[in-house]
Amino acid sequence: MLRPGSPGSLSAKGLKLSHLRFMAALGRSGQVSRAASDLGLTQPAASRLAAEIQRILGQPVYERTGRGVELTPAGRTLALRAARALQEIDDAGRDIAEMQNALSGEVRVGAVTGPALEHVLPVVRAGRLAIPGVTIGVEVATSDILCAQLLDGRLDFALARLGRDSDADQFSVRPVATEPMSLVVRPAHPLSRQQDVPAAALLDYHWVLPFEGAILRRAVDAALRRRGLPPPPQVFVTSSFLLTLALVQETNAIAPVATSVARAFGRDGSGVRTLTTDLAIEVETYGLVRRAGRLLTPAAAAVLAMLEKQLDSAPPPRLEVPSALA
């Protein structure tokens, strides 16, 4: 591996910060003119930067198309690395500023929906009193999105799962727990007052599920397969939690959600009801995920310590068939 500045490295060949900024902007926009505009450059200046980069690499970084430019494999690699390098520089400025002010600044936490309610929300509440100078921002999304944001530097850490295509070497993961799921319906659903709904009866209704291959979709299919049943034949496909709730409340659809989410939205009986069924669904282990090698600010380290304490004190989840919520 070449060290920075060693003979043969890109920095030794003359690659500069201006080149990195241009490639990152080109990777975002896909157009030389748009990249130039984003950076406040003239078109000739942008073209000179592109020519310099291609000379340094010894190969083209893009090819022109009717809709702009398409990065070559070398161009995509450099654009991705350039974006990450610039993010690291920005992170360094943020870290240095926050170190000067001790426990202040913003900490960015990510989580999938269930752990967000169960673990992150208590930390946000406690943090308002324990570290009032720190703003805790929370991003609730799918694991794939959260892991991408960790790599981009937009999150400090997250409660998530590594996807099938994730490079495990890029992350540090502390396993937390598997996640039990409940099946929810609207209060007026034909099955809502029925006790011990057979798994086969669930297939008479539409289900709300994410796209095929998603972690939750695989868990549902596996649970049905263990009962000798096929996947749901009728499916509304969405990864949006809000749309999932809307479909459940407005139709006779059935949706699997984290048991903690089902409890939160079914407390007064007006939102959703949890079906009593013999179909037990459990999603694979999620963890406390960080980008490998990322240094945390004092504020982020303090919030992380609070989250780890919350995780340590929480009882382990039990895989159980939930009772109906009145």
Query: Nearest CA to 257 among 229, 225, 237, 281?
Result: 281
Q: How many CB atoms lie within 10 A of CB 82?
A: 22
Q: Where are the domains of the chain?
A: 17-95, 101-177+285-313, 179-284
Q: Which two tokens stand for residue 99?
A: 């170190």
pLDDT level of residue 8 (50, 70, 90 thresholds): low
Report CA-CA distances (Å) from 237 to 30, 185, 189, 284: 30, 16, 20, 21
In the CATH hierarchy, which top-level class contains the domain 101-177+285-313? alpha beta
Fold of 179-284: D-Maltodextrin-Binding Protein; domain 2 (3.40.190)
In the CATH hierarchy, which top-level class contains the domain 17-95? mainly alpha
Please state the rounded mean pLDDT for residues 100-109: 78
Whether 101-177+285-313 and 179-284 share one fold: the answer is yes
The model scores a pTM over 0.85 = no
More confident: 104 or 283: 283
- Is the pLDDT confidence value at 3 over 60? no
Q: How many CB atoms lie within 10 A of CB 80?
A: 15
Give tens-digit pLDDT for 11-63.
Answer: 888 888 999 999 998 888 888 888 888 899 898 898 899 899 999 999 998 88
